[in-house]
């Protein structure tokens, strides 16, 4: 990453300082920013949690996270320098007095530095804690300075439209919209941001980026992992809330949005909200045709037997929670009328892969005889988001030989080959933007609500009519058969992610199943 240090002093106050997110994502990202010389000379990281912990043992735990989750292990000298800026304070966040103590401590930094520091209040906490912390900050007047005080809220942002509205009202009671940073970490991913660069930095694709040329769009976000230790949260969330409402809809917005006038944060966010508002409402009687849910049963991942969701720690033996969701959306506007957007996401799939596939229409008139078209395929553009980051374009060429025959080929661009530099982790990008006060990659209040409104009819229907066939897909497969039916009823099929790694993973799952 190129350098460009942040100027003024900065204090990160991490509520939930002892939690998983801080250990796994936030501090490794801050450490990388420190190594790349982005952090200001004067900064402090203040972890706040319930535990009784010395600064030393807190730093040790965080170092373990950096060793595990950063690109390389912590360098001893650099770590000593970095960690001298880290401290831990024990506090009960439901006690308003605790915030007076935090305010006092923050005051000492300003005094020491002889100037006002930017204060970032990061809520790495379960959703029910947002209210007491926002109120605590306000009671201690830590919210007042519009320019210097910022609050960061993680997803899930509410659990339905009403609760998201309530949360927005609560936050807006104490903070201005410009002070609030609602995180969807997918927006920090390099390839997700690249969708904007690719679409609006080229003349080539924009003229064909519409219903006249595009047949349909598929967005797949698949994960090999199961629910892990997160059943407490996941049991109340499910795949639709956990992934579709935020990450997948964000990607859809970037693919479908109109060209912004500039990369100004409000301009881009407005264009995304326009997309969400244009998504056709799914009526209750259409839910079964437009959305499919699934839950994994036991199966095989990378040659290893894994248990089903209902046998995971902390999961009810008759849990109705979906671990897979596939949904078909339409965006009702001039550009996209009647072009389906198929979204699917699931846990315990054969591979961890996120990809967008844009399938173009067949040529309007076929010039070639049937004998030349045995291997004829429509043009396809693939945007690989992870684990590989790149863009692939499939088109037809003449197969070499004395006969005219068409054959598909793939033109490929991979970030790692083209640039040979490390792409920053999503959290590095997002934390840096928070420090700069740039909210382009964060969700505006109305956007979170619009996204809930899009999925609410499905949530309501799924809640009122429980699943009867769970578990309905085997771990290590691409989801329930009904997901194939969802797309097959339109005469289409799911596009297999192209990446080699993905195909190897799939082969391993198949082999293990056959040998069992």
Give the residue numbers marked as catalytic. Answer: 247
CB of 65 to ligand BG6, least distance (A): 16
433 lies in the binding site for ligand BG6 (CB under 6 A): no
In the bound state with ligand BG6, the residue whose beta carbon lies nearer, of 44 and 154, is 154
CB of 323 to ligand BG6, least distance (A): 10
Sheet bearing 291-294, strands edge to edge: 291-294, 324-330, 340-346, 214-222, 353-360, 380-386, 390-398, 406-414
- Interacting positions 135-174 with ligand BG6 (CB under 6 A): 155
Let me know: does 509 contact 299? Beta carbons within 8 Å.
yes
CB of 502 to ligand BG6, least distance (A): 14
In the bound state with ligand BG6, the residue whose beta carbon lies nearer, of 82 and 427, is 427
CA 256 to chain centre: 17
In the bound state with ligand BG6, the residue whose beta carbon lies nearer, of 135 and 425, is 425
In the bound state with ligand BG6, the residue whose beta carbon lies nearer, of 188 and 308, is 188
Beta strands (DSSP E) in 236-320 are 291-294, 296-297, 299-301, 304-306
CB of 61 to ligand BG6, least distance (A): 22
353, β-bridge pairs: 222
In the bound state with ligand BG6, the residue whose beta carbon lies nearer, of 190 and 242, is 242
CA–CA dist 37, 444 (Å, integer): 29
Let me know: does 481 contact 337? Beta carbons within 8 Å.
no
CB of 446 to ligand BG6, least distance (A): 21
In the bound state with ligand BG6, the residue whose beta carbon lies nearer, of 223 and 433, is 223
**Maximum alpha-carbon separation in the chain:** 84
- Residue with the CB atom nearest ligand BG6 in the bound state: 242
CA 251 to chain centre: 9
CB of 450 to ligand BG6, least distance (A): 19
CB of 220 to ligand BG6, least distance (A): 12
Enter the tokens of residue 329.
């959306």
CB of 223 to ligand BG6, least distance (A): 5
How many other C-beta atoms are found inside a 10 Å radius of the C-beta of residue 257?
A: 24
Q: Which of 27, 29, 21 is nearest to 155 (CA)?
A: 21
Let me know: does 252 contact 269? Beta carbons within 8 Å.
no
CA–CA dist 280, 277 (Å, integer): 8
CA angle 369, 373, 377 (to 5 degrees): 140
- Interacting positions 73-102 with ligand BG6 (CB under 6 A): none
Helices (H) and strands (E) in the chain, counts: 18, 18
In the bound state with ligand BG6, the residue whose beta carbon lies nearer, of 188 and 299, is 188
DSSP character for 8?
A: S
How many other C-beta atoms are found inside a 10 Å radius of the C-beta of residue 17?
A: 32
What is the C-alpha end-to-end distance of the chain, expressed in Å? 47
In the bound state with ligand BG6, the residue whose beta carbon lies nearer, of 297 and 346, is 346
CA–CA dist 481, 472 (Å, integer): 8
389 lies in the binding site for ligand BG6 (CB under 6 A): no
The site string for ligand BG6 over 186-225 (x = CB under 6 A, - otherwise) reads -------------------------------------x--
CB of 445 to ligand BG6, least distance (A): 19
In the bound state with ligand BG6, the residue whose beta carbon lies nearer, of 379 and 386, is 386
Enter the tokens of residue 367.
């010039």
Strands 390-398 and 406-414: antiparallel
In the bound state with ligand BG6, the residue whose beta carbon lies nearer, of 223 and 396, is 223
- Interacting positions 17-36 with ligand BG6 (CB under 6 A): none
How many other C-beta atoms are found inside a 10 Å radius of the C-beta of residue 468?
A: 7
Collapsing DSSP states into helix, strand and coil, what is residue 355? strand
242 lies in the binding site for ligand BG6 (CB under 6 A): yes
360, β-bridge pairs: 214
CB of 428 to ligand BG6, least distance (A): 13
Let me know: does 11 contact 47? Beta carbons within 8 Å.
no
Enter the tokens of residue 213.
């040329």
Let me know: does 220 contact 305? Beta carbons within 8 Å.
no
CA–CA dist 364, 376 (Å, integer): 14
Interface size with ligand BG6, residues (CB under 6 A) = 3
Binding residues (CB under 6 A) for ligand BG6: these are 155, 223, 242
């Amino acid at each position: 990453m190129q350098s460009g240090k942040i100027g003024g002093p900065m204090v990160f106050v991490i509520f939930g300082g002892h939690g998983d997110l801080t250990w796994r994502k936030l501090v490794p990202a801050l450490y990388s920013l420190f190594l790349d010389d982005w952090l200001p000379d004067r900064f402090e990281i203040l972890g706040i949690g319930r535990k009784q912990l010395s600064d030393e043992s807190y730093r040790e735990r965080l170092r373990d996270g950096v060793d595990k989750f950063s690109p390389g292990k912590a360098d001893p000298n650099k770590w000593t320098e970095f960690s001298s800026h880290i401290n831990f304070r024990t506090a009960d966040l439901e006690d308003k007095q605790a915030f007076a103590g935090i305010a006092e401590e923050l005051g000492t930094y300003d005094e020491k530095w002889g100037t006002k520091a930017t204060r970032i209040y990061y809520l790495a906490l379960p959703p029910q804690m947002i209210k007491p912390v926002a109120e605590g900050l306000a009671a201690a007047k830590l919210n007042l300075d519009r320019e210097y005080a910022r609050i960061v809220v993680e997803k899930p942002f509410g659990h339905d439209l009403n609760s998201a509205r309530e949360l927005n009202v609560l936050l807006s009671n104490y903070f201005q919209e410009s002070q609030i940073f609602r995180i969807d970490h997918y927006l920090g991913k390099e390839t997700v941001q690249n969708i904007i660069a690719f679409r609006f930095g080229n003349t080539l694709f924009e003229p064909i980026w519409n219903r006249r040329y595009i047949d349909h769009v598929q967005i797949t976000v698949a994960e090999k992992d199961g629910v892990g230790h997160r059943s407490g949260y996941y049991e109340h969330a499910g795949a639709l809330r956990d992934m579709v409402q935020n990450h997948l809809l964000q990607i859809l917005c970037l693919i479908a949005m109109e060209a912004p006038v500039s990369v100004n944060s409000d301009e881009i966010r407005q264009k995304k909200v326009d997309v969400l508002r244009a998504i056709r409402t799914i009526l209750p009687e259409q839910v079964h045709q437009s959305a499919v849910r699934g839950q994994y049963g036991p199966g095989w991942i990378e040659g290893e037997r894994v248990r089903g969701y209902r046998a995971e720690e902390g999961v009810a033996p008759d849990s109705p929670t979906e671990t897979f969701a596939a949904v078909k959306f339409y965006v009702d506007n001039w550009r996209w009328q009647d072009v389906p957007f198929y979204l699917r996401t699931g846990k315990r799939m054969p591979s961890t892969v996120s990809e967008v596939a844009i399938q173009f229409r067949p040529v309007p008139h076929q010039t070639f005889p049937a004998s030349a078209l045995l291997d004829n395929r429509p043009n396809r553009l693939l945007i690989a988001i992870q684990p590989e980051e790149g863009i692939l374009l499939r088109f037809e060429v003449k197969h070499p030989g004395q006969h005219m025959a068409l054959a598909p080929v793939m033109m490929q661009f991979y970030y790692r080959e083209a640039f040979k530099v490390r792409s920053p982790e999503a959290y590095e990008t997002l934390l840096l933007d928070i420090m700069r006060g740039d909210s382009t990659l964060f969700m505006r209040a109305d956007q979170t609500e619009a996204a809930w409104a899009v999925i609410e009819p499905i949530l309501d229907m799924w809640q009122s009519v429980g699943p009867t066939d769970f578990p309905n897909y085997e771990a290590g497969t691409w989801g329930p058969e009904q997901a194939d039916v969802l797309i097959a009823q339109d005469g289409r099929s799911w596009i297999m992610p192209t990446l080699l790694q993905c195909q190897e993973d799939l082969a391993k799952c198949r082999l293990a199943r056959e040998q069992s």
